[in-house]
């Protein structure tokens, strides 16, 4: 992967740089911006050497600004809308401003962050990441639609095609049988016109008698029956094969959905992901089931007939071929339009799905604000969009069909006319002409159908692309070479100068240093958005730190297999997610082989047993989708039982006791106090009083660890925590007065 | 100045069946009520914007932002302090003093990097990804957008707003005002 921080500068820039910097200074960063100082598109070259920062205006312009690094007082990135601005503040004098568009943000933000750390004395040389995202295709240099993604132009259609075919190669036997049946069936298809020719020329015209007629018609019937038998078996095998292959593909897709990192889901809409599973795989199914075997058999038929016609009468065949160029021309004109239309079709459908998903998930909000009618209208809009684009698609196809069909019939007119002339001149027999016309229509049949095939195939390809996009996305590194299984875990968690941001250059966590003893309970405190949940995401390794490390028992998390790490982490969330199944199944979710005794023991420890046995079906009660048939407190206790049974070494309580009434909360507190025993626990709670049992409290503020200490110590210090507690007490007091 | 007291502006939000229905007014104390005529903007030094509310206080490093950059680009102007907290909001630019208005416009110009497309030189669409080559008020630029049909926003009759894969913003103020060729490119993708 190219480093990207040093780019080749044009000669004029390079020579300017030569003048400005001593020869012995190493260039660390040398790259162009894409905005001029007046924010129009243009290049300025930004160079950082071991001693200074330079900004060289675009070719020809004068006014290079060089700032010795020792003069840099402060570096900040100002977020503009659609870009950014690096401001290098000097110890005295006008600061240097470097504007860039959003496209260059990843690079410039990294450099700015490095310079900032340098200026603040946090590092002694400019540190830059060793890898940058790939934004352009390596072979054609086109901008990529997705960072590090595949270039849709360079991925050939054939490649997609072979990948689809690849799913069938697992069933080689069936493929071989299907192929041979196809060849046999197609060749048999060529026989009937020849038999009719024989009937007309050798039986009927010379009045050869009754027996030859019976023989000939019998032969015709026999050929038809064998064609029919071959065709039925071919279709049967083709479907079976296609269905198996599509099943494999769907399995593949689903597995990938499960193993993709959380990052993949951050910016995608649920509905459009589901559409890949349903719509797109449906289309592929159609392609595999019907189209592939059809294109094969019709291809053979087409070329077989063409050869036969040329052999029978080559001059007449030329008339048959005459309409083909205009057909190809008309087809290619309409084709682009059809493809665009099908892309739009997919987009509209996924919009419809997305809205359906949204309005049904949020049905309570819709009803509470009595917006059913408006949601209905919104749906109508999307529905209309789908209809509209489908109609346009159908119309395009209809136009294509009609035009090509007309052009093809022209071929038949030519043949009747010129073939008729040949008969009149006794150069051709009536039977030969009849056979010729039959072949002609048989040849046109697949040709006409090719238009449909192409259209359908492109639709399926577009769907395949979307499916392969998921399959090609990097899965979480569950099995990395060199990563070790974690056999025993003590539960020590160490953050070593960890930096992390969801977007490059916008760190959410900065220089986190924290050492948590095995079995210790840590309360995470801070304003919302301070970085508490992000900290937890790093512990679960949903994300890796950008810099620094998170260690478990002194070992970098990246050196441990994900499976062995996560199997020792338990989580109780604010809104526990239960799966549609029984209470017992949900409790045993993390440990499916648990005995029923274990399940009950966990439920008792979680204070859940009591309410469970009160239910008519007890542990066999179905909880409904997302646990909809249980109350919040009940779901919470089941999720605690789930965590207890899972027996993790590291436990995460994410607002586990908020939004519950006091009595339920007391029970849950009791359950939690049993759960945390002997486990390293990280608890986030807004109600600070619930964190009294924590060994230490960690106050996170603007992505940094601001204060660490026990409840009493922090109160004594009168810092951020003290103020938070104060505010909360006041709020509670106000609420009590008001209530 | 925008009166932050939320009043029944168009008497529209209420249930349709009761024409006399009025929403309960809610008094909002923040952002503070500031008379726009009391606002004084200064560039001091040249690269820092300083704001003084006469008779109240001063802020250094003030940012000027639009409350609704797409639907109300010229109204509802917000002033943010160094921590990006809102200081106040001005509904109409006219309410500001003459000399401040110029500064505000310059600041907005600097902050919003939306490019206004004047001509489309080339546009290709493949697999729902479109490759654009456009002339804008900031100069020529190439960009890639995904699912334009799905993601482009119509902000009004003929006004099209696009965000490319990197997050750069492009706007076509009036599609109908573009030349024929550019318009046919647009028809290709929408």
Judged by CB atoms within 8 Å, which residues 90-129 of A form the interface with B?
94-95, 97, 101-103, 105
Question: Which of B45, B166, B188 best probes binding to A when mutated, by most A CB atoms within 10 angstroms?
Answer: B166
The residue assigned the tokens 């600097």 is B110
Q: How many CB pairs under 8 A join A and B?
A: 93
- Cβ-contact A417, A409 below 8 angstroms: no
**Structure tokens, A407:** 């052009």
Whole-number pLDDT of residue B88: 87
3-state secondary structure of A223: helix
**Contacts A81 to B, Cβ<8 Å:** 69, 111-114, 169
- Cβ-contact B146, B166 below 8 angstroms: no
- Cβ-contact A89, A116 below 8 angstroms: no
Give per-10-residue mean pLDDT for chain A (739 aa).
Answer: 70 85 85 90 89 83 83 88 91 88 87 84 72 71 65 67 82 88 88 91 86 91 94 88 86 85 73 75 76 78 87 84 78 71 79 86 88 89 90 85 81 88 90 88 71 66 77 71 79 90 75 91 87 90 88 88 86 84 90 90 88 90 82 86 89 75 76 84 82 87 89 88 84 64
**Contacts B128 to A, Cβ<8 Å:** 343, 346-347, 462
In chain A the first and final C-alpha atoms are separated, in Å, by 62
Burial A605-638 (b: 16+ CB within 10 A, else e): bbbbbebbeeeeeebebebeeebeebebbbbbbb
Which of B115, B127, B166 comes nearest A465 by C-beta?
Answer: B127
Contact A40 B139 (CB under 8 A): yes
B122: contact with A, CB 8 A cutoff: no
- Cβ-contact A729, A737 below 8 angstroms: no
3-state secondary structure of A107: helix
Nearest alpha carbon to residue B93 among B116, B66, B112: B66
From B97's Cα to the closest Cα of chain A, the distance in A is 25
**Structure tokens, B6:** 């939320």
Whole-number pLDDT of residue A220: 92
- Cβ-contact A650, A557 below 8 angstroms: no
**Rounded to whole angstroms, how far apart are CA atoms A269 and A288?**
28
3-state secondary structure of B89: strand
Which of B142, B144, B167 comes nearest A82 by C-beta?
Answer: B167
Whole-number pLDDT of residue B26: 57
Exposed, middle or buried, A191 (CB in 10 Å: 0-12/13-18/19+)?
A: middle
B135: contact with A, CB 8 A cutoff: no
- Cβ-contact B41, B55 below 8 angstroms: no
**Structure tokens, A687:** 């109600």
A421-424, long-range: CB within 8 Å, 24+ apart, which pairs?
A: A422/A313, A422/A316
Nearest alpha carbon to residue A638 among A626, A686, A648: A626
Q: How far is CA A411 from CA A329, A400, A406, in A?
A: 16, 17, 9
Judged by CB atoms within 8 Å, which residues 345-364 of A form the interface with B?
346-348, 350-351
In chain B the first and final C-alpha atoms are separated, in Å, by 40
Which of A42, A82, A87 comes nearest B113 by C-beta?
Answer: A82
Which of A41, A80, A95 comes nearest B47 by C-beta?
Answer: A95
**Rounded to whole angstroms, how far apart are CA atoms A494 and B174?**
56
CA A110 to chain centre: 26
Question: Which of B128, B130, B163, B187 best probes binding to A when mutated, by most A CB atoms within 10 angstroms?
Answer: B128
Nearest alpha carbon to residue B116 among B145, B146, B141, B147: B141
**Rounded to whole angstroms, how far apart are CA atoms A111 and A75?**
10
The H or E element spanning position A262 is helix A262-266
Per-residue pLDDT of chain B (190 residues; tens, 9 = 90+): 444 444 444 444 444 556 676 666 655 544 567 788 888 899 888 888 999 888 878 888 899 999 888 888 888 999 998 888 888 888 888 888 888 999 999 999 999 999 999 999 999 877 667 889 999 999 999 998 877 876 788 888 889 999 988 889 999 999 999 999 999 888 877 7
From B54's Cα to the closest Cα of chain A, the distance in A is 27
Burial A83-110 (b: 16+ CB within 10 A, else e): bbbbbbbeeeeebbebbbbbbbbbbbbb
The residue assigned the tokens 């030569």 is A18
Exposed, middle or buried, A277 (CB in 10 Å: 0-12/13-18/19+)?
A: middle
Nearest alpha carbon to residue B53 among B84, B94, B96: B96
Question: Which of A73, A100, A133, A143 best probes binding to B when mutated, by most B CB atoms within 10 angstroms?
Answer: A143
Please tell me the number of Cα atoms within 13 Å of A528 on its side-chain side. 4
Whole-number pLDDT of residue A453: 66
* pTM greater than 0.80 (yes/no): no
A351-354, long-range: CB within 8 Å, 24+ apart, which pairs?
A: A351/A271, A351/A272, A351/A382, A351/A385, A351/B150, A352/A379, A352/A382, A352/A383, A352/A385, A352/A386, A353/A271, A353/A272, A353/A274, A353/A275, A353/A278, A353/A279, A354/A269, A354/A270, A354/A271, A354/A272
Side by side, which strands form the sheet with A696-701? A569-572, A650-654, A680-684, A521-525, A696-701, A704-709
B131-134, long-range: CB within 8 Å, 24+ apart, which pairs?
A: B131/A142, B131/A143, B132/B164, B132/B170, B134/B170
Nearest alpha carbon to residue B59 among B31, B91, B85, B77: B85
Q: What domains lie within chain A, and their CATH numbers?
A: 3-125 (2.30.29.30), 157-471 (1.20.1560.10), 482-568+678-739 (3.40.50.300)
8-state DSSP, A171: G
Searching chain B, which residue's CA lies closest to the CA of residue A351? B150
8-state DSSP, A142: P
């Amino acid at each position: 992967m190219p480093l990207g921080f040093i780019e080749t500068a044009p000669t004029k820039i390079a020579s300017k740089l030569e003048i400005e910097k001593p020869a012995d200074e190493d260039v660390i960063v040398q790259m162009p911006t894409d905005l001029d100082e007046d924010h129009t598109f243009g290049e300025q070259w930004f160079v950082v050497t071991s001693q200074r920062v330079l900004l060289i205006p675009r070719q020809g312009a004068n006014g290079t600004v060089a700032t010795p690094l020792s003069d840099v007082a402060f570096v900040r990135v100002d977020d503009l809308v659609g870009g950014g601005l690096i401001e290098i503040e000097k110890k005295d004098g006008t600061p240097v401003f470097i504007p860039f568009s959003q496209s260059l943000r990843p690079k410039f933000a990294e450099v700015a962050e490095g310079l900032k750390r340098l200026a603040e004395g946090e590092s002694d040389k400019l540190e830059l990441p060793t890898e940058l995202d790939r934004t352009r295709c390596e072979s054609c240099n086109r901008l990529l639609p997705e960072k590090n993604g595949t270039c849709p132009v360079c991925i050939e259609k054939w490649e997609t095609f072979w990948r689809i075919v690849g799913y069938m190669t697992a069933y080689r036997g069936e493929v071989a049988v299907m192929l041979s049946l196809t060849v046999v069936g197609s060749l048999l298809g060529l026989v009937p016109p020849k038999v009719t020719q024989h009937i007309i020329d050798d039986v009927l015209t010379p009045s050869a008698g009754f027996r030859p007629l019976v023989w000939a018609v019998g032969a015709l019937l026999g050929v038809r029956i064998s064609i029919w038998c071959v065709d039925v078996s071919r279709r049967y095998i083709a479907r079976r094969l296609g269905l198996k292959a599509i099943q494999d593909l769907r399995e593949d897709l689903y597995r990938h959905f499960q193993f993709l990192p959380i990052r993949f889901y951050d910016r995608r809409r649920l509905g459009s992901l589901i559409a890949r599973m349903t719509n797109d795989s449906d289309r592929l199914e159609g392609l595999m089931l019907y189209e592939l075997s059809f294109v094969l058999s019709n291809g053979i038929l087409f070329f077989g007939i063409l050869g036969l016609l040329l052999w029978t009468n080559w001059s007449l065949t030329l008339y048959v071929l005459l309409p083909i160029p205009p057909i190809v021309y008309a087809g290619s004109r309409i084709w682009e339009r059809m493809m665009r239309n099908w892309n739009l079709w997919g987009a509209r459908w996924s919009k419809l799905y997305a809205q359906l998903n949204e309005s049904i998930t949020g049905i309570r909000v819709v009803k509470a604000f009595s917006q059913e009618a408006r949601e209905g209208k919104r749906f109508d809009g999307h529905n209309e969009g789908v209809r509209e684009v489908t109609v346009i698609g159908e119309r395009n196809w209809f136009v294509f069909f009609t035009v090509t069909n007309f052009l093809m019939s022209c071929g038949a007119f030519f043949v009747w006319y010129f073939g008729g002339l040949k008969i009149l001149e006794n150069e051709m027999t009536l039977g030969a002409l009849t056979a010729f016309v039959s072949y002609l229509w048989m040849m046109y049949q697949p040709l006409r159908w090719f238009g449909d095939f192409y259209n359908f195939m492109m639709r399926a390809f577009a769907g395949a692309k979307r499916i392969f996009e998921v399959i090609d996305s990097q899965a979480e590194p569950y099995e990395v070479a060199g990563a070790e299984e974690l056999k025993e875990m003590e539960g020590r968690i160490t953050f070593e100068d960890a930096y992390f941001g969801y977007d490059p250059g916008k760190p959410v966590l900065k220089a986190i240093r924290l050492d948590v003893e095995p079995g210790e309970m840590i309360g995470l405190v801070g304003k919302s958005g301070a970085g508490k949940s992000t900290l937890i995401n790093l512990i679960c390794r949903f994300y890796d730190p950008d810099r620094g490390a998170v260690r478990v028992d002194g070992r970098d998390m990246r050196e441990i297999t994900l499976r062995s790490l996560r199997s020792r982490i338990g989580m109780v969330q604010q809104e526990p997610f239960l799966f549609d199944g029984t209470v017992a199944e949900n409790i045993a979710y993390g440990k499916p082989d648990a005995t029923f005794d274990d399940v009950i023991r966990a439920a008792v420890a979680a204070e859940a047993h009591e309410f469970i046995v009160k239910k008519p079906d007890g542990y066999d009660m179905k909880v409904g989708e997302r646990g909809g048939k249980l109350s919040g407190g009940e779901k919470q206790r089941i999720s605690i039982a789930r965590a207890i049974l899972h027996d993790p070494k590291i436990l995460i309580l994410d607002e586990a006791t908020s939004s519950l009434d006091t009595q339920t909360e007391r029970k849950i507190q009791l359950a939690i106090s049993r759960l945390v025993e002997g486990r390293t626990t990280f608890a986030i709670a807004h109600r600070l009083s619930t964190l009294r049992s924590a060994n230490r409290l960690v106050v996170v503020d603007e992505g940094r660890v601001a204060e660490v200490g026990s409840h009493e110590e922090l109160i004594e210090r009168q810092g951020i925590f003290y103020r938070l507690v104060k505010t909360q007490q006041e709020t509670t007091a106000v609420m009590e007065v008001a209530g | 100045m925008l009166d932050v007291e939320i009043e029944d502006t168009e008497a529209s939000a209420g249930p349709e069946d009761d024409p006399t229905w009025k929403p309960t007014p809610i008094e909002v104390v923040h952002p503070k009520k500031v008379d726009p005529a009391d606002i004084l903007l200064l560039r001091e030094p040249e690269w820092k914007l300083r704001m003084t509310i006469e008779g109240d206080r001063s802020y250094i490093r003030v940012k000027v932002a639009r409350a609704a950059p797409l639907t109300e680009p010229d109204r509802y102007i917000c002033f943010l302090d160094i921590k990006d907290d809102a200081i106040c909001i001005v509904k109409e630019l006219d309410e500001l003093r003459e000399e401040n208005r110029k500064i505000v416009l310059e600041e907005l110009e600097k902050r919003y990097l939306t490019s206004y497309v004047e001509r489309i030189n080339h546009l290709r669409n493949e697999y729902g990804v479109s490759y654009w080559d456009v002339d804008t008020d900031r100069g020529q630029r190439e960009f890639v957008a995904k699912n334009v049909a799905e993601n482009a926003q119509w902000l009004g009759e003929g006004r099209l707003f696009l965000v490319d894969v990197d997050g750069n913003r492009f706007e076509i103020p009036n599609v109908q005002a573009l030349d024929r060729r550019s318009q046919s490119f647009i028809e290709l993708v929408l």
